[in-house]
A and B are shown apart, each in its own frame.
Chain A
Amino acid sequence: MKPFAKRISRALLAAAAVLAVAGSAVAEPVTIRFGFAQVGVGNRQFGSGNTAAILHSRDILAEEFRNDPDVKLDWSFFKGAGPAVNEAIANGQLDFALQGDLPSLVGRSNGLKTRILAASGLRSNLYLAVTPKSGIQSIADLKGRKVAQFRGTNLQLATDKLLAAHGLTERDIKFINMDFATATAALATGDIDAAFGQADYLALDGQGVARVVYSTRGDDPAFTRHSHLLVTEAFEKAHPDVTYRVVKALVKAAAWASDEANREAVFEEWAKSGIPAETFRADFDGQALGYRNSPLIDDFLVAAYQDQAERAKGYRLVRGDVRIDGWFEPAYVDRAVAELGLAGTWKRYDANGHQQTAAK
């Protein structure tokens, strides 16, 4: 054999050997690009308050692909939250996203090709913080006041629903678009009268910077928000195996985060984002972890998104109807729950939010 041919055959042999080793898992190098519609305090690269944050911070996903050197994980945290994640998806920069209900509906209404694979955080609360001097006591007092809102996030939809329940619309209030960090600063300086936000406002209340006068805790669960893991249709089609393993890892994270024995550990894990653990303690007070951290795509979740889609259209946050059919793909999460022997860990709820008695 000529040296050149020899070299080629040797190279082919080596390649075959590599393929034989890796063949069992993932055949070609792939980078999984995750987008988080969240960022920690002071730009800390951590999410919080959902199981996706656990998936990331406890390296559960990294563990899943530990023996696959060809699989690389790339996490991005977006200060611009859901709207920014949509832009990144449209630009083909993300494969998976951990995003809230409204932004995903907005993305879908604009033709982003995605599939919802699992819930990553259910029934998240909405908080209304007001400056001490504003004198605002209730939702009704917001009329005509200057209020911060992070537009396009799932908080906007929750806010609009809440306002509607009090006979108000966005037009009755002077809403100013601000991201969470800006709104917190504006509350402290008194530039705004109030802000709709998340559990971290509890800390502001503790410091006397602002007062939390309302939260969805104990109110109608319909005012709460949901978030989920979604994948682009293109990635799911190209890598169904990788997609399944990502969902499986999320289910593992959800199982850990739903175990009451880990209650404090879960809050401490989320505190890596810079939001103190006691905030989550208060936010989850009186609620089972599994009630909020279930990954299941049940009738409740699909119906909730259907409702969100209709309301979003009503509030003119999306144009036209958003088709919910075919958007959710429960096969992965159901398979993972069965394979991991986690059946019965989470309760299934029907479209009306009632617990389903017959175990599926």
Chain B
Amino acid sequence: MTNLELSRAAHESALIAGNGRLDFPVETDPKPIGALLRPALRPALCVVEALAFPLALFGLWTLSSRLGWLPVQILPTPEQVAATLADLAGSGDLWFHTSISLLRVVQGFALGGTAGLLLGIAMGLSPRVRRTVEPLFTALAQVPPLGWIPVLMLLVGIDEGLKLLIIAKAALVPVALNTQKGIRNVPDSLREVGAVLAFGRWATLTRIVLPAAVPSVFTGVRYGLTSAWLALVAVELLASSEGLGYLMVWGRQLFQLDMVIAAMLVVGLVGFALDWTLSRVERRLQRWELAGS
């Protein structure tokens, strides 16, 4: 029996036992409007719904620039921003800065995600660790990444170290919390199966607890990556000689607000793409979990 099958089997038995509640959000159909339309139309409708607000916002922006509600120096026209984006993309600057930002996030996230995973596992498994670490962890987690900057600057300077630590911290918190939650929510019945199979501690952890916790851990990974991305831009705004945040600083200092908005769009799109990709994977994982039941 592979781990996977075991975990499914355990799930089933848990469900049969009636005490294994599934915590994972289950997709529900958007009945009210969706039911009226043929299923084939539904994805299209979703896209329209999702685009309605951005399009309205874009319309407002266009209108504002046509009617001169705001000085064009403060809110450039969409055409200007598009031209700037094209210019940045054409000169290679856009890719250069985006790749640097992405690299920082990958590094910081690898650091923070690993630490968060280990901390989450420790807090999830050991009541003692939880008792001693959790209160402090919760308190520290409340300090936003930017709040750490003054202290960290004194400790590690303003170099890459600072950026990595801030990003790592941003990633660590959601990963640790969700990992801990995932582990603690592993149904007792699953553990009992392990006991029946005479699993040792290590086998229980690797074959029962961790696989069952995967969806929750992944939710943490998803939020961790999103908040890492947010922290990155904040820290790049502060002290940086490259990256998307730096591009924004440059644009602001040289009064090229179109460059600021162009960079904002890229930051938003990259963030959206990261989150969307992970949410797809997350849904897969949940489906795979449910498929067994």
Contact = CB atoms under 8 A, between A and B. Distances in A.
A86 B255 contact: yes
Nearest to B73: A90
- Most chain A CB inside 10 Å of its own CB: which residue of B241, B250, B255, B256: B255
A191 B157 CA distance: 5
Given A189-B154, A191-B158, A177 B253 contact: yes
A91 B74 contact: yes
Interface string A81-92: 001001100111
A192 B252 CA distance: 22
B152 to A, nearest CB: 12
B239 A83 contact: no
A358 B158 CA distance: 55
Contact of A146 (B72, B241, B253): B241
Interface in A102-120: 103, 106-107, 110-112
A106 B72 contact: no
Contacts of B241: 146, 174-176
B91 to A, nearest CB: 10
A178 interface: yes
B253 to A, nearest CB: 3
Given A111-B73, A174-B241, A151 B249 contact: yes
Interface residues of B, number: 20
B71 interface: yes
A106 B250 CA distance: 13
B158 A110 contact: no
B254 interface: yes
B166 to A, nearest CB: 15
A302 interface: no
Interface in B235-290: 239-241, 246, 249-250, 252-256
Contacts of A318: 254
Contact of B73 (A112, A174, A178, A317): A112
A316 B152 CA distance: 34
A152 interface: yes
A33 interface: no
B157 A178 contact: no
Contacts of B158: 176, 186, 191-192
B239 A110 contact: no
Contacts of A176: 158, 239-241
A178 B238 CA distance: 8
Contact of B253 (A83, A174, A186): A83
A345 B71 CA distance: 41
A231 B74 CA distance: 19
Nearest to B156: A191
Interface of B: 71-74, 153-154, 157-159, 239-241, 246, 249-250, 252-256
18 contacts: A83-B252, A83-B254, A87-B73, A90-B74, A91-B71, A103-B255, A106-B254, A106-B255, A110-B73, A110-B256, A111-B73, A146-B159, A151-B250, A152-B254, A176-B241, A177-B253, A191-B157, A192-B158
Interface of A: 83, 86-87, 90-92, 103, 106-107, 110-112, 146, 151-152, 174-178, 186, 189-192, 317-319
